[in-house]
Structure 1
Amino acid sequence: MLQRLSDIDHRAWAEAAPPIATPERLLIVSDAWHPQVNGVVRSIENTNRELARIGVDVVMITPEGFRSVPCPTYPEIRLSIASYRKVAARIEAARPTYVHIATEGPLGLTARRWCLKNGMPFSTSYHTRFPEYVAARLPIPQSWLYAFVRWFHNAGSGCMVATPSLANELKQKGIHNLLPWSRGIDATLFHPRPLEDNPFGLPRPIFMTVGRVALEKNLPAFLDLDLPGSKVVVGDGPARAELQKLYPSVHFLGSKFGEALAHAYSQADVFVFPSKTDTFGNAILEALASGVPVAAYPVTGPADILGGNDAAGVVDVDLAKACRAALSSSRQAARALALNYSWEAATNQFIGNVRLANHRGRMLVGDP
């Protein structure tokens, strides 16, 4: 798997803490979980599968089992209503060796409080550009939101980020103890398939995007483009109904999963990633593994994955230019690039970070 370290603190990123002799039990706390369909959930699911293979026992605390309410402006996301006592009881019942807090939501905040109160080291991960997403929906200054992000993550002993460019950016924002956690791809499920003449009953070339149909995905930047052939959107979300009305010529296929999703990817001529706020872009790897070149803006995620791999896709500040140029990219090169990423390698990176964060935290409090 590719691992491009940034210029920041190479020595800290290269540290490693060995696994302890006793069986390891990892508690992961995440406000993002089923029935949500997003990169956070998929990343945790794939990581948990690999952790089980190497003998790490994982216990999850998620919104399942707690009362919840819809998130304002994004009802598909449920916010847990759980007392500190109930969450603390679940943590204590798990008897974790390590704690990893995946999200900055209500459960993450409660777990953070418990860890600090009980002297338990913990790691975190920065999956989502929380300040940008919230500021796009509510009149809250990003500076206030980044102050919250610093407060949340700097209390832990390690904050995992997916790309070197994001690590550099967060360092500039005052977030410390950054650790690399890349992502993987199921190259058996997502693979090239024979191209149909008229996939989905549409003329080629097929320009496709896959993901949540939501404000932060910047979909109009793609849907407004004057491109040949057909535009296809796979996914669902709060903005779908409005966008379908505004763009009647675009084909919205709704959510797809498993083989149906993999087949859809494989029929695209170009995968278009219009988001400027994703921290990685798991869908980029799914497209590349399917042999589909990528067109995107030169931002965190696509720039990290495609940087130096021009044959597999194009990043450009002019998205239309990137889309047209990607038509000439190599499907073989796209597949080859994706094969540099595996969930096995990403999970080894993840559990190494968890162990390191635990080691750092215990050293700070003087534990052996």
Structure 2
Amino acid sequence: MRILIVTDAWRPQVNGVVRTLEKLAEALHQQGVEVEFLTPEGYPTLPLPSYREIRLALVTPRQIGRRIKDVAPDIIHIATEGPLGILARRACLASKKPFTTSYHTRFPEFLSARTPVPESWSYACMRRFHNAGQGMLVATPSLEMELDAKGFTNLRLWTRGVDTQLFNPAKRVELDLPRPIFLNVGRVAVEKNLPAFLDLDLPGSKVVVGDGPDMAQLKARYPDVHFLGTRLGEELAGIYAASDIFVFPSRTDTFGNVLLEALASGCPVAAYPVTGPIDIVSNFQCGVLSDDLRVAALAALDIPRENARNRALAYSWAECAAQFLSHLRPGANQAAA
């Protein structure tokens, strides 16, 4: 089988979408599946207004059609709703080629946080985009229920994985900081709701790993917080394993790959009871969820680190790839665009 994955999110971006697609492709290759990507690489790009790290490809329908023809995939998976995703969807519908989509980012909330665009308008566009495919892949049961209530159809569960060899308590390094160490990893941007964490009255130290458009503003506002910038690989794994609690203040993530990375490192989680944390943390004694994030962060200090690690062991990229493949069977009917 040859799969073409279309994504507007790609390197050098460092985020959950890019990491998921990279690890998915590795796992699919190990299962004998050929994977090709259609990304902004090789095309002129423009920065997304208000978020210059995201580059939008400048492409024509003819260019996308030619790329699809050259790859000759058995099926196309459209991972994002940007220019590449829109034109790939158009090409698939015109040629009656089967395709699936996936829902990674809450763009309606993303846009409303930066512009006066009402969420209802954005959700109408998102429904039209996704409901045209043979299946829309979502990461968790709670997200599936939420999107079903908003009128999305043909929803299919597709979990995520974590590299438990890389993210491992054995990778612990010494951080010369007062303990306990409360950590957050992710984009430093408005949708991540970081002030909800940074405003907390907590003992010890707060550490933020990542970069983004709000970095300068937050560094000036919170001089006592340790902003380490982007860290990857072994260095990132060492920071996870050296931290005491992973604090996840986002209310809009659709999953939160960083939750699994923290848990695999033996770092319990403190978060709000929202999509992602509800599905990963609830009922597994690997963290604490509360609408009072300070209460959650302090209570999580009593969670045994082995509980966190054991929860992460339930997730693998091999299972993620197997679920993905199970949803790519051509559908008998396609919804009209």
- Please indicate the TM-score interval, normalised by the length of the shorter structure: over 0.9
Matched, 1:142 2:142: no
2:58 maps to a residue whose letter is: I
Aligned counterpart, 1:277: 252
Q: 1:253 & 1:353 partners in 2: Cα distance?
A: 39
1:37-90: per-residue Cα shift (whole Å, max 9, x none)? 000000000000011011111110000011000000000000010011111110
Correspondence 1:4-23 to 2 at 5 A: none
1:364 maps to a residue whose letter is: N
- Counterpart pick for 1:107 among 49, 72, 84: 84
Unaligned runs of 5+ in 1: 1-23
Aligned counterpart, 2:187: 212
Correspondence 1:169-180 to 2 at 5 A: 169-180=146-157
Aligned counterpart, 1:313: 287
Among the aligned pairs, what percent are the same residue?
57
Change (3 A) 1:247 1:285: same
Matched, 1:266 2:237: no
Matched, 1:257 2:226: no
1:255 maps to a residue whose letter is: T
1:302-352: per-residue Cα shift (whole Å, max 9, x none)? 010011112x10000000000000001110000000000000011100011
Q: 2:170 & 2:290 partners in 1: Cα distance?
A: 28
8 Å contact 2:172–2:238 — kept in the other structure? no
Change (3 A) 1:114 1:195: closer
- Counterpart pick for 2:131 among 139, 143, 154: 154
Q: 2:172 & 2:327 partners in 1: Cα distance?
A: 41
Report the alpha carbon displacement of residue 195 of structure 1 after superposing the two structures with TM.
Answer: 5.7
Secondary structure at the residue paired with 1:157? Answer: coil
Query: Which 4+ residue blocks in structure 1 deviate beyond 6 angstroms?
Result: none
Q: 2:83 & 2:163 partners in 1: Cα distance?
A: 31
Aligned counterpart, 1:364: 333
Aligned counterpart, 1:240: 215
8 Å contact 2:172–2:240 — kept in the other structure? no
- Counterpart pick for 1:347 among 309, 321, 326: 321
Normalized against structure 2, the TM-score is what? Answer: 0.98
Aligned counterpart, 1:325: 299
Q: 1:324 & 1:195 partners in 2: Cα distance?
A: 21
Secondary structure at the residue paired with 1:292? Answer: coil
Correspondence 1:30-179 to 2 at 5 A: 30-179=7-156
Which protein has greater RCO, CA pairs closer than 8 Å, 6+ apart? Answer: 1
1:82-129: per-residue Cα shift (whole Å, max 9, x none)? 011111110111101000000000000000000000011110000001
Higher deviation after alignment, 213-222 or 301-310? 301-310
Aligned counterpart, 1:29: 6
Q: 1:139 & 1:195 partners in 2: Cα distance?
A: 44
Q: 2:252 & 2:171 partners in 1: Cα distance?
A: 33
Q: 2:191 & 2:8 partners in 1: Cα distance?
A: 19
8 Å contact 1:271–1:295 — kept in the other structure? yes
Report the alpha carbon displacement of residue 193 of structure 1 after superposing the two structures with TM.
Answer: 2.8
Secondary structure at the residue paired with 2:206? Answer: strand
Report the alpha carbon displacement of residue 200 of structure 1 after superposing the two structures with TM.
Answer: 3.1
Report the alpha carbon displacement of residue 364 of structure 1 after superposing the two structures with TM.
Answer: 2.3
1:245 maps to a residue whose letter is: A
Aligned counterpart, 1:12: none
Q: 2:94 & 2:35 partners in 1: Cα distance?
A: 22
Matched, 1:231 2:200: no
Q: 2:118 & 2:211 partners in 1: Cα distance?
A: 28
Report the alpha carbon displacement of residue 194 of structure 1 after superposing the two structures with TM.
Answer: 7.2
- Counterpart pick for 1:303 among 275, 278, 282: 278
Q: 2:239 & 2:60 partners in 1: Cα distance?
A: 43
Secondary structure at the residue paired with 1:327? Answer: helix
2:160 maps to a residue whose letter is: R
Q: 1:330 & 1:191 partners in 2: Cα distance?
A: 15
Q: 2:169 & 2:176 partners in 1: Cα distance?
A: 19
Q: 2:250 & 2:333 partners in 1: Cα distance?
A: 39
Normalized against structure 1, the TM-score is what? Answer: 0.90
Unaligned runs of 5+ in 2: none
- Counterpart pick for 1:182 among 153, 159, 163: 159
Aligned counterpart, 1:16: none
Q: Provide the alpha-carbon RMSD of the alignment.
A: 0.9
Q: 1:193 & 1:174 partners in 2: Cα distance?
A: 45
Q: 2:98 & 2:318 partners in 1: Cα distance?
A: 25
8 Å contact 2:281–2:288 — kept in the other structure? yes
